[in-house]
Amino acid sequence: MFFCAISAVSYALWSNLWQDNWYLERPEETIGTKIREVIEVFGRLVLQFTLFVPISLLTTLEIVKVVQGYIISRDRKMVYGDVKAQTNSAGTADDLGCVTHVFSDKTGTLTENCMLINTLGIMGDLNRHFGPNPHSMQPCDTHVSQKFPTRGIKAVSTGKDEANLRRSLLVLGLCHSVLRQQRDESDSDDGAHQGTPVA
């Protein structure tokens, strides 16, 4: 509105200075016609600036987001071991500002997870326990810190459910996509794996 008012006043001043040009057909001017003309120019400028200013604001905001992403990726305090922060999109800073809860998935993308099988249900049978505890896991149990138990798997691998067991374990092991990245030029064979769940 400020720009519109300045532009309308500037138009009124310009109109008074250049109104004698022969190629401008102007009706006889009174105070009322001048005020009406300034109001019309103000309205035209409001319509023009409502389209122009938001586009320039959006462009400026995108530039600011890119600069914020660059600053995040160059921040020396946002390093975990040898891994630096990486921004994959311009809206990363906006997304970080909206975070209220952090959830982790089975690939350990956010934290290093040690998720082990406690109970495996195959073909409707939910009573197979693969740990030293024969009782089912209670809702309050949140972490199991033991090696992968194979005693229960070996017990059912000789029975009729062997094919279903193999298929279930294959799905359990392969239900994410893995992206292999080389850590640096010297490590040609050893790469970093990043997984993303697709279920």
Active-site residue numbers? 105
Tell me which DSSP letter residue 180 carries.
E
Residues in the chain: 199
CB neighbour list of residue 22: distance below 8 Å, 6 or more residues apart: none
- Helices 31-74 and 2-17: crossing angle in degrees, nearest 10, is 140
Pairing assessment for the beta strands 83-84 and 176-182 based on DSSP bridges = unpaired
- Nearest-angstrom CA–CA distance, 193 and 199: 18
